[in-house]
Amino acid sequence: MAPRKLNIACAGLGRMGARHALNFLNRTPRAQLVAAFTPDPREVEWARVHLEPSGVVIYTDYDEMLKHAGLEAVVIATVTTAHAENAIKAIEADKHVLCEKPLSTSVEISQSVVDAASRKPHLKVMCGFSRRFDASYRDAFDRVDSGAIGRPSIFRSQTCDKLDPSGFFVSYAEFSGGIFVDCNIHDIDLALWYFGQDSIVKSVVATGICALQPELRKHKDVDNGVGVVEFWGGKVAYFYSSRMMAAGQHDMTEIIGTNGKLAVNASPTGTLVEMHEPTGVRREIPHDYYGRFEYAFVTEANEFTAACLDNKRLPFKLSGAVQAVTIGCALQESLNSGQKINFDETGRRLEGSKL
């Protein structure tokens, strides 16, 4: 008898959704991609070529896709503003859910996903923080957890995208929630992972500039942002995000402890080949986020599938996704208001404090 496979569907077939779909179709042996949803005609055409020949049924109506016979799980990679609605509908239809980050650009709406999941405790509902599945970040966490660098005290992390001259990020900013919610949400989640998910924010402050894409200002966003988050208990996190890296994608992290430091991807490389040329020595780095974290996404797909089939515990709690959005939204607010936002020792926001 052939081993049972998880029947899964992919909602959204844009850049990230297409990658998820192909990973579940070709690189997750215990999963079977049975359906996909997109309202975009161009994405439908892509799906006709790349998914339909493998038996994947293409839907342009999300609610109809949820009724697909035998469907057990949904991976959600639709536009960010639809994540929560799509996730809640899938949960209410009794489907396991892997939702791309963030759950929502709103703290309250993100919490509504957690609330919906709590009403269906037999379901596996996970937010896709891909770096948690990266081998290097897991290695670093194990070292921190073992006490190798003493008590982690300073956390410095960045998400820096290669410049996209097409204007994609300008149009995307209308829905993304801003650079701290969209880009630095990964770094924020990492800070909560390495510092401890029970860490409580003490203060948040952010600033930023539009160095190359002034059109972002109409969406109250920037192409370069810096945020500093202080946690109660003597811990500080520094975040940098950028949309204008010339050489390629550079996402890196430093965890500085009382007895040492760990650095992840401080000197990025996409290949072990070095080019020794008349102008000097150089190496190429990944051109986009997926180029750096491709295998993390594959691991994510396989571990989510195993959790659903074998009733295993997910690697992190869904409530952490709300913590990350809370910090990201506070940074975005500070960016636009010029105010430092303070919190008491219970995590409750204190009003009236300014820079």
DSSP state of 56: P
Residue corresponding to tokens 């006709």: 48
Spatial CB neighbours of 145, under 8 Å, sequence gap ≥ 6 = none
d(Cα 302, Cα 310) in Å, to the nearest integer? Answer: 12
Residues 6+ apart with CB under 8 A from 228: 204, 205, 206, 236, 237, 238, 239
User: Is there a contact between 157 and 183 (Cβ–Cβ < 8 Å)?
Assistant: no
143 pLDDT more than 90? yes
In which band, very low, low, confident or very high, does the pLDDT at 355 lie, cut at 50, 70 and 90? very low
| DSSP summary character for residue 92 | H
> What pTM value is reported for the model?
0.95
pLDDT digits (tens, 9 = 90+) for 255-305: 999 999 999 999 999 989 999 999 999 999 999 999 999 999 999 999 999
> What number is the average pLDDT over the span 228-246?
97
Task: Say which residues have a Cβ less than 8 Å from residue 2's Cβ, sequence separation at least 6.
Answer: none
Q: Which residues pair with 282 in a beta bridge?
A: 275
Nearest alpha-carbon partner for 228 in 128, 145, 334, 123: 334
Query: Quick one: pLDDT at residue 171?
Result: 87
Report pLDDT for 354.
47
> CB-based burial of residue 246 (10 Å sphere; 0-12 exposed, 13-18 middle, 19+ buried)?
exposed
Query: What is the pLDDT at residue 169?
Result: 85
> Which residue ranges form the domains of the chain, and what is each CATH number?
6-127 (3.40.50.720), 135-294+323-342 (3.30.360.10)
- E strands, the chain, where? 6-11, 31-37, 57-59, 73-76, 96-100, 125-128, 152-162, 201-209, 224-231, 235-245, 250-257, 260-264, 275-277, 280-282, 341-343, 349-350
pLDDT tens digits for 93-132? Answer: 999 999 999 999 999 999 999 999 999 999 999 999 999 9
* Cis status of the peptide bond prior to 214, with omega within 30 of 0: no
DSSP lists the bridge partners of residue 202 as none
Quote the pLDDT of residue 216. 95
Average pLDDT of the chain to the nearest whole number = 96
pLDDT at 295: 97
Dihedral class, residue 64 (left if φ above 0, else alpha if ψ from -120 to 50, else beta): alpha
* Residue 175, pLDDT score: 85
Q: Which residue has the higher pLDDT, 174 or 160?
A: 160
Distance CA 126, CA 128 (A): 6
pLDDT of residue 172: 83
Residue 167 has pLDDT above 90, yes or no: no
**Three-state SS at 342:** strand
Encode pLDDT of 36-59 as tens digits.
999 999 999 999 999 999 999 999
DSSP secondary structure letters along 177-236 = --HHHHTTHHHHHHHHHHH-TT--EEEEEEEEE-SS-GGGGGGT--SEEEEEEEETTTEE
Single-letter amino acid, residue 21? A
With 80 as the cut, is the pLDDT of residue 1 above it? no
Cα dist from 289 to 54, 92, 176, whole Å = 27, 32, 16
DSSP for 220-270, written as a single string:
T--SEEEEEEEETTTEEEEEEEEEEESSS-EEEEEEEETTEEEEESSS--S
Q: Are 219 and 258 in contact (CB under 8 A)?
A: no
